[in-house]
Amino acid sequence: MSYKIMEKVELAPNTVMMQVHAPLATRKMQPGQFIIVRVTPNGERIPLSISGWDMNKGTVRIIVQAVGRTSAELINLRVGDSLTDVVGPLGQPSHLDKYGTCVLIGGGYGTGAIIPIAKDLKARGNKVIGIIGARTKELVLMENELRTICDKVEVSTNDGSQGVKGLVTDVLTEILKQEPVHMVTAIGPVPMMKAVSEMTRPLNIKTYVSLNAIMVDGTGMCGSCRVEVGGTTKFACIDGPDFDGHQVNFGELVNRQKMYIPYEKKAMELHLCKEKNL
Ligand SMILES: Cc1cc2nc3c(=O)[nH]c(=O)nc-3n(C[C@H](O)[C@H](O)[C@H](O)COP(=O)(O)OP(=O)(O)OC[C@H]3O[C@@H](n4cnc5c(N)ncnc54)[C@H](O)[C@@H]3O)c2cc1C
Ligand code: FES
């Protein structure tokens, strides 16, 4: 099986959208799930959210932000190149239901991940409001597409170069003043998901977050994606990645994410040396 890259678009610095040919994987995909890819035969396996799929073309859409060696190798590939493996769909689908008004919040690649969720919630008759958060205007991803799906889309940037100056929680505060919200889903950096969950907890608004725990096999065997939710141990790859944000132990998640930093630094240094033929 050849997992050929059919399309590649640069969305922002170090961030690309790719359509990858993986027809078997597309057969049972649902919003909120992810795939695990290997870029090279000896490379590590990295989990990536499903940002869309086309069963007729047999393609899955991914949004990749280069943060280390493997994601950098991936975004360097070109149309016509192939990935070594694509495994999926993995994980549980998002909590899709008829809620009323839903606010979907995306930061970084998380904006790509909320698109299939937004489409599904809209098709179920929900009012869907999207919030995209970014450091600056150049890093706002997928805005136009999200606008075609949602009833309303708001943008926040830390430097105020687009939309509201501030954080996604500032935008959420304003929305909560204007109308009742029945469900919130936040996908993006851990501090953002934590802040959103803390904001909705006292208001008792159902809140889901997608946990980007470190994963290896993605099938519940290795234990590396262990997270604490509601005082019990869960595996993000098979029990999640979506969990009730009010029950997640974010502190433990952050600590576990830091476990391999020295090795990740070394891998990136080797990658950069290879790129520069040093
Ligand atoms: C369910 C899920 C969905 C994800 N969806 C996307 C996506 O759609 N687009 C995207 O760009 N990124 C996504 N990520 C994050 C992506 O998997 C990591 O950025 C990638 O694995 C980093 O590998 P690296 O070698 O490039 O960087 P490294 O140098 O290895 O790591 C950089 C940082 O990424 C995190 N990371 C490292 N290895 C893993 C791993 N195996 N699993 C999870 N996190 C890891 C660590 O926090 C680390 O500090 C997702 C992660 C999860 C768990
Ligand atoms: S990634 Fe190995 S148990 Fe989840």
Q: How confident is the model at residue 278 (pLDDT cuts 50, 70, 90)?
A: low
Contact (CB, 8 A) for 130 and 87: no
Task: Indicate which ligand has the atom closest to the C-alpha of 226.
Answer: 2
Contact (CB, 8 A) for 126 and 100: yes
**Binding site membership of 198 for ligand 1 (Cβ less than 6 Å):** no
pTM of the entire predicted model: 0.92
Would you say residue 111 lies in a domain?
yes
pLDDT of residue 261: 66
Boundary-marking domain end, from 194, 210, 226: 210
Would you say residue 151 lies in a domain?
yes
Do 157 and 65 belong to one domain?
Answer: no
- Nearest atom in ligand 1 to 267's CA: 29
DSSP 8-state code for residue 33: -
Once rounded to an integer, what is the mean pLDDT over residues 69-81?
A: 96
Please choose, from the candidates 278, 277, 276, 274, the residue with its C-alpha nearest in 3D space to the C-alpha of residue 70: 274
Residue 265 has pLDDT above 70, yes or no: no
Kindly report the CATH number assigned to the domain that includes residue 111. Answer: 3.40.50.80
Do 106 and 197 belong to one domain?
Answer: yes
Do 151 and 184 belong to one domain?
Answer: yes
Q: How far is the CA of 246 from the centre of ligand 1 (A)?
A: 23
Tokens of 198: 């803390």
Indicate if the alpha-carbon torsion angle 188, 209, 142, 178 is positive or negative: negative
Task: Indicate which ligand has the atom closest to the C-alpha of 223.
Answer: 2
- Nearest atom in ligand 1 to 73's CA: 26
Tell me: the pLDDT tens digits for 146-178? Answer: 999 999 999 999 999 999 999 999 999 999 999
- Nearest atom in ligand 1 to 268's CA: 29
Do 21 and 119 belong to one domain?
Answer: no
Q: How confident is the model at residue 257 (pLDDT cuts 50, 70, 90)?
A: confident
Cα separation of 244 and 183, whole Å?
11
Question: Looking at the DSSP assignment, which residues form a beta bridge with residue 36?
Answer: 47, 87
Residue 226 has pLDDT above 80, yes or no: yes
Tell me: the pLDDT tens digits for 19-56? Answer: 999 999 999 999 999 999 999 998 999 999 999 999 99
Tokens of 17: 């959208």
Do 21 and 86 belong to one domain?
Answer: yes
Question: Looking at the DSSP assignment, which residues form a beta bridge with residue 38?
Answer: 45, 85
Tokens of 168: 């996604």
Tell me: the pLDDT tens digits for 82-95? Answer: 999 999 999 999 99
Residue 275 has pLDDT above 90, yes or no: no
Boundary-marking domain end, from 185, 210, 235: 210
Residue 146: give the domain boundaries.
101-210
Q: How confident is the model at residue 276 (pLDDT cuts 50, 70, 90)?
A: confident
**Per-residue CA distances from 31 to 14, 91, 107 (Å):** 25, 10, 17
Please choose, from the candidates 139, 141, 129, the residue with its C-alpha nearest in 3D space to the C-alpha of residue 185: 129
Boundary-marking domain end, from 62, 90, 118: 90
Tell me: the pLDDT tens digits for 189-208? Answer: 999 999 999 999 999 999 99
- Domain tally for the chain? 2
Cα separation of 22 and 118, whole Å?
23
Report the chain's terminal Cα–Cα distance, integer Å: 34
CB-neighbour burial class of residue 23 (10 A; exposed 0-12, middle 13-18, buried 19+): middle
Residue 7 has pLDDT above 80, yes or no: yes
Q: How far is the CA of 119 from the centre of ligand 1 (A)?
A: 25
Longest dimension (CA), the chain: 58
